Structure 1
Amino acid sequence: MRRRQMHMSREAQDALLKALQQLRAELKAPTEFPVHVLQAAEAAKAEVRLPDKDATHLPLFTIDPPTSKDLDQAMFLERRPGGGYRVHYAIADVAAFVKAGSPLDAEAHDRIETLYLPDLKVPLHPPSISEGPASLLPDQIVPALLWRHDLDADGNVIDSTVSRAKVRSRAKLNYQGVQQDIEAGTAEESVALLREIGTLREAVEAARGGVAVNLPDQEVTLKDGSFQVNYVAALPVEGWNEQISLMTGMAAARIMLDSGTGILRTQKEQTDPQVVQRVHAIAKCLDIDWKPGVPYAALVNSLDPADHRHMAFLSEAIAMLLKAEYTVFRDHHIPKHTAHAAIAAPYTYCTAPLRRLIDRYTGELCVAACAGQAPPNWVLDALNCLPCDMARGKGKVADRRAVDLVEAAVLKNRVGEVFGGVVINTDAEDGRPKEGTVHLAEPAVMGRITSGAELDLGASVQAELTRADPLFAGRNKLLFRSV
């Protein structure tokens, strides 16, 4: 699932400066790297060795937001003789710079992942590396893990392999420009093939029962003293680009399963009939027509995240139905459950090592397996601890807290007003039947609600806004009372 991004205007950032600083303090998000880590980064840059394999002839390109500098992925797409496609997909080789046991490694294990906050990002690695010689920026020769996927004419993967290589990206493209060029018919063939391959992969995803949700970005502005939030739908090219990453994550999972050692991102489908019934009830509350017999994946794929009712359903239902975890296996002791329910296949993270800790390890496991070698000891030594390490990541919490902050800012001048809403969740199962979540029709926000009587799922309520404070410590910056 593509991550929803929040963009905040400079005026909005300035007005919310104190709240944003408090958010970083609550998350204990470091804004600087220790001096010894920065020194280690400089030493690593000087000591890095390029791989012997030379793939600099491939005219790779990246597609990212215009201001991005930490570029994890670059690609080159071509047709295969006789039919089908070949995808060359370069992933930043972070292990070439970050050695096990080094200060850079220790710092990465503290940070776990890059945090994206409304006014800045807190990077996993020092920018001198992640936005420099480890990044797939154009016109520089860098080490990479180079994947090669062969696809048939229908977009099915028939072979995947990965090895170390030195590469050179030729162009730094952005989503809007690529979308415009493809639609205008002016994109070069390799770029134009992204639509062809991406569309085929989306069809393959739908056929296997995968869930595809491209959440809209949020744009926060300040106008005449009031905060406003607009939603910007994802471009089709963002979905096509995501398909290349998903394809690689599935290929990596298969390679690790075949080799007998690895770590998967697994997700079991919810089978508790009470929870399933509850999710159906939430859909009904939000006037979403979920016909009998329609699978959850098919319903989700039919929804429009730009519709506030659909967004509310996705936010609640995904959290209730699909809970992911990390599953480690070694020495061919393959676990009983290996699939990721939303993807409908075995899957692992491996395409964003500049921004996520685990990807450095899964990349190494795949390179070793494809070379017919045993995994490095430093990978095996860390393998069992990675699930606990990743559980300490704060990315999802940061995203949720940022939304809470913005919604409180939007309503901060309207405390005491009464809004019409629908109860889309209650805490009855946790012994708090008088507390839950309310979804407002206008403005389209969700917040905590309390009541003097028990709340009923799906009930229409009049909700008095009792708190809208971006500076309130903790989660409940936005609070309603049923009247």
Structure 2
Amino acid sequence: MDTAAIGRGDFSRVRAEFGLPDRFPGPVLAEAERAVAGGPRGERVDRTDIPLVTIDPPGAKDLDQAMHVERHGDGFRVHYAIADLGAFVEPGGPIDTEVRRRGQTIYLPDGSVPMHPTALSEGAASLLPGQTAPSALWTLDLDAAGEPVSFRVERALVRSTEQFDYESVQAAVDAGTTHPSVALLPELGELRRAAAIRRGALELQLPEQDVERVDGGWRLLLRGRTRVDAWNAEISLLTGMCAARLMLDAGIGLLRTLPAATDDDRAWLRRSAEALGIPWPEGASAAEVLAGLDPASPAAMALSMDATRLLRGAGYTAFDGAPPELDSHAGIAAPYAHVTAPLRRLVDRFGTEVCLAVCAGVEVPAWVREALPALPEAMESSDGLAAKVDRACLDQVEAWVLADRVGEEFDAVVLRADGDTAEVFVPAPPVLGKADLNRDPEKDAETLEGRTLRLRLTEADPATRRIRFART
């Protein structure tokens, strides 16, 4: 192993800089202990007969979703169990107050800052294998094309039978030994991917960095996305789209929204593709062009970076009575609501409660109604914090890894150029950074985006988490 590619240190400074809490208040822990000891509240149907399985990153304990897919007529039936925090969290109590303040779980390489006490999020409320747990159980009936025909959600007791990770399921799919509960996931997942492209959903194929603990330090790696990862995501998206439909029909809810790109932005992306030498067939949508790119191609990386321009302005839209002014998510190309990760994200518990009430034919609880107007701001704040912490951790590891390599040269792909500065991707070690281009007017008449340049590392400072390259 290349020891020069390992960074050493801890993330305590990042935690302190962003004011991340290191413990829960005593009343919150006490309520969690009482909730676990008392068991889940409320009536629910027993669906422990469904052989659900979970698919999560290796070692995960906060398991929000469990799945079972079966044939239903000439289509499919998906059972999708979501952890039910409503069985443990008392509205207005200490836990509820604290999780509204935190907003979501923050993940750092050396451990998470959980939204809920781990006695719940990694214990009684988690869909751990072999544990009977309360859930909001979605039943989604789909036609032969994978489109929803009917859907509902109810409170249930469930039991996951197995805990898998993406790599192990992908290996089983490739070997033809997929677990029966998800044997149809490849077929359904591909149908849903095709449907997403037809709708105009945008999926950007940008390098995804990750940090791995190794030899007492940290190293950077590219997060590979398996086909199972994409198929699994499609089931979550499908559930969120069904939840949004329930909310819109009932006239109450909280949507994840994104305004449509402007004509100017779409035209700009087409010009960018032309400059990068990427074909844009007549009549093809941006979704179709982006889906057809080779993720490893430098030009494809640059176009995907440019396509982020089409995804600006994401937010949350709460409504109760009057229809929302914006009711769709342009990146998904459909109405969508977060309901599948309540252990890790505040808004999902409230969205789930709306859907449970609608399907049961009862009034949405008053405490949910009262909370809706404040949730968009709370979520946007916590989303912003999570993104900053994630970037700071990556910047820290990049600086650690490169600290002793100032002056060395690296090959880098130009993702976006703006004047004399560029955002670049260095494949080895996988680093995203800024570069001074030192443009030559005669040589640089054409775009530098999508080109591979030779860069020299001019700065790598662990104290400021700043790295900088310059064109040689």
Q: Could you say which TM-score interval applies, normalised by the shorter chain?
A: 0.7 to 0.9
**What is the CA distance between 1:263 and its match in structure 2?**
1.0
Select 1:341's aligned residue among 330, 335, 358. 330
1:330 partner amino acid: D
2:308 partner amino acid: I
Q: Which residue of 2 aligns with 1:64?
A: 56
Q: Which residue of 1 aligns with 2:307?
A: 317
C-alpha contact 1:64 1:174 (8 A) present in aligned 2:
yes
Select 2:316's aligned residue among 318, 322, 326. 326
Q: After the TM superposition, which of the residue ranges 243-252 and 408-417 deviates more from structure 2?
A: 408-417
List gaps (5 residues or longer) in structure 1: 1-8, 428-432
Q: Does 1:448 align with 2:434?
A: yes
1:64-463 matches, within 5 Å, as 64-80=56-72, 82-213=73-204, 218=209, 220=211, 229-271=220-262, 273=264, 275-276=265-266, 279-280=269-270, 283=273, 288-290=278-280, 294-307=284-297, 310-318=300-308, 321-331=311-321, 333-393=322-382, 394-417=385-408, 424-425=415-416, 436-439=421-424, 443=428, 445-449=431-435, 458-459=447-448
Q: After the TM superposition, which of the residue ranges 198-207 and 50-59 deviates more from structure 2?
A: 50-59
**What is the CA distance between 1:58 and its match in structure 2?**
1.3
C-alpha contact 1:53 1:164 (8 A) present in aligned 2:
yes
2:108 partner amino acid: L
Q: After the TM superposition, which of the residue ranges 358-367 and 162-171 deviates more from structure 2?
A: 162-171
Q: Which residue of 2 aligns with 1:430?
A: none
Q: After the TM superposition, which of the residue ranges 365-374 and 168-177 deviates more from structure 2?
A: 168-177
C-alpha contact 2:9 2:217 (8 A) present in aligned 1:
no
2-side partners of 1:29 and 1:219: how far apart?
Answer: 21
Q: Which residue of 2 aligns with 1:34?
A: 25
**What is the CA distance between 1:77 and its match in structure 2?**
1.5
Q: Which residue of 2 aligns with 1:24?
A: 15
Q: After the TM superposition, which of the residue ranges 320-329 and 129-138 deviates more from structure 2?
A: 320-329
The secondary structure found in structure 1 opposite 2:27 is helix
Deviation track 1:347-396 (CA, whole Å, cap 9, x = no partner) reads: 01110000000000000000011111111111111100011000111222
1:344 partner amino acid: A
2-side partners of 1:218 and 1:92: how far apart?
Answer: 28
2-side partners of 1:397 and 1:23: how far apart?
Answer: 10
**What is the CA distance between 1:145 and its match in structure 2?**
0.4
**What is the CA distance between 1:292 and its match in structure 2?**
6.4
1:96 partner amino acid: A
2-side partners of 1:335 and 1:291: how far apart?
Answer: 36
TM (norm. structure 1) is 0.85
**What is the CA distance between 1:241 and its match in structure 2?**
0.9
The secondary structure found in structure 2 opposite 1:143 is strand
**What is the CA distance between 1:449 and its match in structure 2?**
4.3
Q: RMSD in angstroms over aligned alpha carbons?
A: 3.3
**What is the CA distance between 1:289 and its match in structure 2?**
4.6
Deviation track 1:55-94 (CA, whole Å, cap 9, x = no partner) reads: 11111111112311111011121111x3211111110001
List gaps (5 residues or longer) in structure 2: none
Length, aligned pairs only? 461
2-side partners of 1:454 and 1:37: how far apart?
Answer: 61
1:277–1:210 Cα change, 3 Å: closer
TM (norm. structure 2) is 0.87
C-alpha contact 2:257 2:335 (8 A) present in aligned 1:
yes
1-side partners of 2:232 and 2:338: how far apart?
Answer: 15
2-side partners of 1:281 and 1:31: how far apart?
Answer: 48
Q: After the TM superposition, which of the residue ranges 217-226 and 26-35 deviates more from structure 2?
A: 217-226
C-alpha contact 1:51 1:166 (8 A) present in aligned 2:
no
2:374 partner amino acid: C
**What is the CA distance between 1:400 and its match in structure 2?**
2.3
2-side partners of 1:191 and 1:317: how far apart?
Answer: 33
2-side partners of 1:38 and 1:115: how far apart?
Answer: 19
The secondary structure found in structure 2 opposite 1:346 is coil
Q: After the TM superposition, which of the residue ranges 246-255 and 112-121 deviates more from structure 2?
A: 112-121
1:276–1:201 Cα change, 3 Å: closer
C-alpha contact 1:437 1:446 (8 A) present in aligned 2:
no
2-side partners of 1:339 and 1:247: how far apart?
Answer: 14
2-side partners of 1:450 and 1:215: how far apart?
Answer: 21
The secondary structure found in structure 2 opposite 1:340 is coil
Identical aligned residues as a percent: 44
The secondary structure found in structure 1 opposite 2:184 is helix
